[in-house]
Homo-oligomer: A and B are copies of this chain.
Amino acid sequence: MKLTKENLSQRLDHIYDVIVVGGGAGGLSAGIYLQRYLLSSLIIDKGKARSLWMQELHNYVGLPTDTPGRNLLKQGKEDYLSLGGDFLNGYVEEIIDEGETFAIHVKIGRQNSTYQVFRAKYIIAASGIIDYLPALENMQNVFDYAGYNMHVCLICDGYEMADKKVGVFGNSEGSLQVAFSLGWFTPYITLFTQGLFDVSPEFRQKLQEHGYPLVEKPIKQFLGENHQMTGVELVDGEIVELEAGLVSMGSKYHADYLEGINLERQGGNLITDKMARTSHPRIFAIGDLKVGLNQVVIAAADGALAATQIWRDIRRATGAKRWQENIPASVTKG
């Protein structure tokens, strides 16, 4: 059921089999599998899943290619609740490993917040990442285009940029390297440092060879209308015309709540085995938090893997249900 400030006290003494942090595609997939394995689960979601920003989910087989990410999330949440799963809007601040259980400290409500502790045997970290965007004085100007024709994922949206004039917006020389992968889809690439950093002579040489201009002045604002970005106005009033954008400025990992637990990482990503288990035997990580491709369908598959492995762990520790106490020997002898 949907937990609210009014009814959540019913669950404070309950030890869930699994608490899933994050209600995006991965968390919801895990939740659906967990409930179908007859395990008790709670999804705690702070809102704003990365897929919520996606206006069109182009490559999730089975859904029409213009399905907004929010539709997948809505359907998944509905199905999860119909299977008896618990869902709470809240922000997980900290997880404490108590040995047999975890204590999950949650802040509920942005105003007049209350603080509650829930407990579970297993954790699935499905809280994902969020992309850093160009920092302009007026952020609404950025949000107007992000997720429309200002993209953050080359794998997802390279196709949308084919043969278009694309601006690549980075925050380091390394982040701008994505331009050479984008160069598979289009040659009409202009790179923007936003005045944030300098680039090496080698990098300039490589750009020169590819014929990709580099713009090093800060950006005043994006131009466009109806969520279609048509160019950039620089601080000195110069205008660069564009037909699409690719933001490559790294991501914030939503995993501060795991800081007290020592987990193996590779860069910001959690390292997992093939069943999505981290280096802690009762903590799983799925989707964009873990090493691998940041794709909705992969997060959904990760959810299936993590839920299945947790079910196997618990099932093997519990054993099978018994039926007839004294089954006649004749029956088992054919």
**Which of A's residues lie within 8 Å of B, judged by CB?**
25, 28-29, 32-33, 35-38, 58-65, 67, 71-72, 75-76, 79, 82-83, 155, 158-159, 162, 179-189, 193, 204, 207-217, 274, 292-293, 295, 297-298, 300-305, 308, 311, 315, 318-327, 329, 331-334
Contacts and interface: CB of A to CB of B under 8 A. Distances in A.
Contacts of A181: 315, 320
B61 A332 contact: no
A81 to B, nearest CB: 11
A28 B91 CA distance: 37
A327 B311 CA distance: 59
A81 B182 CA distance: 24
B187 A323 contact: yes
Rank and list the top 3 A-B pairs by shortest CB-CB distance, nearest first: A183-B320, A216-B334, A301-B301
A206 to B, nearest CB: 10
A243 to B, nearest CB: 14
Given A63-B62, A321-B184, A214 B159 contact: no
A322 B62 contact: no
A317 B203 CA distance: 20
Given A61-B75, A61-B79, A62-B72, 16 more contacts: A29-B59, A29-B61, A38-B158, A59-B304, A61-B303, A62-B63, A63-B75, A181-B320, A183-B320, A208-B327, A208-B332, A210-B322, A211-B323, A216-B334, A293-B304, A293-B308
